């Protein structure tokens, strides 16, 4: 089945980016969220990001307007049920994702492929809660989606070959590169990246270095484009903590124990850029370290 229509659940940072790249690649996109405000903000963000691509001569003004015309929105989850492909891009909580697939189940077209943009949760387990584990895969986009070239493709134990091949073709049509990952906690990128961030938080927690010295050391000493604490704020500290908990619970290894300071920041609601405060305070013109 050639995929032409795509439903996306969740209009946040990841969902609107996924909608952007699919629409630009010629797919008809139906974007769903639980709030109209979320959908309105997503459309503003998508337009802004497309116009930035126009200004940088990555795409034409005509391509920008055509992409925007391909995106529709809805507050009703079941409206997505007849799409060829549905990608769940909700918060990184397994019960939330299961509830979404459960609500979609009675309305789905038999041929619809389901996918999750989860960054860490078992694809096999998510698929088992649906009526079509053979037509279920992990399709993990990197943030920011319009910029990052990689998409992790994760097969659950029941995912059939036709589903894998179809989604591999979709990734190629998006102009991105796929990496096939086995269904282990956090897959490839976050299995390596998030423990590094957690170790940076431990380095701060233990007083080895300040926020500034840790980030500068990794930028200048290891040629990282962003320091690990700055990157944590960009990802969202709640997401980092959720992935560390998945690793710790799934692999039962103490090396994946979330740093208590990371937990404390999340408990305080200091989640990074999206809340205006994390390891940096974003209330002024220039981010200021909070420790």
Q: What is the mean pLDDT of residues 127-156?
A: 96
Measure the CA dihedral 70/119/259/198, to 10°.
Answer: -90
**Domain ranges for the chain:** 5-181, 190-286
pLDDT of residue 92: 87
Catalytic residue among 88, 190, 230, 248: 190
> Does the annotation mark 283 as catalytic?
no
Instruction: From 123, 25, 107, 110, select the one nearest 74 (Cα to Cα).
Output: 107
Q: What is the mean predicted confidence (pLDDT) over 278-289?
A: 96
Contact 277, 266 (CB under 8 A): no
CA–CA dist 160, 139 (Å, integer): 15
Q: pTM of the entire structure?
A: 0.90
**pLDDT at residue 198, as a whole number:** 98
80-127 pLDDT, tens digit each: 999 999 999 998 899 999 999 999 999 999 999 999 999 999 999 999
The reply to whether 190 belongs to the active site is yes
- Is domain 5-181 annotated with CATH 3.40.50.720? yes
Strands 136-141 and 150-155: antiparallel
Does position 237 have pLDDT exceeding 70, yes or no?
A: yes
Verify whether residue 140 is a known catalytic residue: yes
The predicted pLDDT at position 244 comes to: 96
Q: How confident is the model at residue 279 (pLDDT cuts 50, 70, 90)?
A: very high
Q: Per-residue b/e over 173-188, b at no fewer than 16 CB within 10 Å? A: ebebebeebebebbbb
- The chain-wide mean pLDDT, for the chain, equals 96
pLDDT of residue 1 exceeding 70, the answer is no
Do 286 and 230 meet the contact criterion of CB atoms below 8 Å apart?
no
Retrieve residue 156's tokens: 């659950």
Return d(Cα 7, Cα 176) in angstroms, integer.
19
Judge whether residue 35 has pLDDT over 70.
yes
Candidate list 88, 92, 152, 230, residue with the active-site label: 152
- What confidence category does residue 159 fall into, taking pLDDT thresholds of 50, 70 and 90? very high
Tell me which of 16, 32, 49, 119 is the catalytic residue.
119
20, 49, 140, 248: which one is catalytic? 140
- Please report the pLDDT score of residue 282 as a whole number: 98
Q: Going by CATH, does the domain composed of 190-286 fall within 3.40.640.10?
A: no
């Amino acid at each position: 089945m050639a995929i032409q229509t795509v439903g996306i659940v969740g209009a946040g940072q990841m969902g609107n980016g996924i909608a952007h790249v699919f629409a630009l690649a010629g797919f008809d996109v139906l974007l769903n969220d639980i709030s109209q405000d979320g959908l309105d903000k997503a459309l503003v963000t998508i337009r802004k990001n497309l116009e930035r691509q126009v200004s940088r001569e990555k795409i034409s003004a005509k391509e920008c307007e055509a992409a925007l015309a391909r995106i529709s929105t809805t507050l009703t989850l079941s409206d997505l049920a007849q799409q060829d492909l549905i990608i769940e891009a909700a918060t990184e909580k397994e019960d939330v994702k299961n509830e979404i697939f459960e609500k979609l189940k009675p309305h789905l077209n038999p041929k619809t492929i389901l996918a999750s943009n989860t960054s860490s949760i078992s694809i096999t387990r998510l698929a088992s809660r649906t009526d079509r584990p053979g037509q279920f895969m992990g399709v993990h986009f990197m943030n920011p989606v319009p910029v990052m070239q990689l998409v992790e493709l994760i097969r659950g134990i029941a995912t059939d070959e036709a589903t894998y091949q179809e989604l591999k073709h979709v990734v190629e049509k998006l102009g991105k590169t796929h990496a096939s990952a086995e269904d282990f906690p956090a897959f490839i990128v976050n299995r390596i990246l998030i423990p590094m961030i957690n170790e940076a938080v431990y380095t701060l927690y233990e007083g080895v270095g300040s926020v500034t010295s840790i980030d500068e050391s990794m930028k200048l000493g290891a040629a990282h484009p962003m320091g690990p604490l700055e990157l944590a704020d960009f990802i969202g500290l709640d997401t980092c903590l959720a992935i560390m908990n998945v690793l710790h619970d799934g692999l039962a290894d103490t090396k994946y124990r979330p740093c208590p300071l990371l937990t404390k920041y999340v408990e305080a609601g200091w989640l990074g850029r999206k809340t205006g405060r994390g390891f940096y305070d974003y209330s002024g013109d220039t981010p200021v370290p909070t420790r």
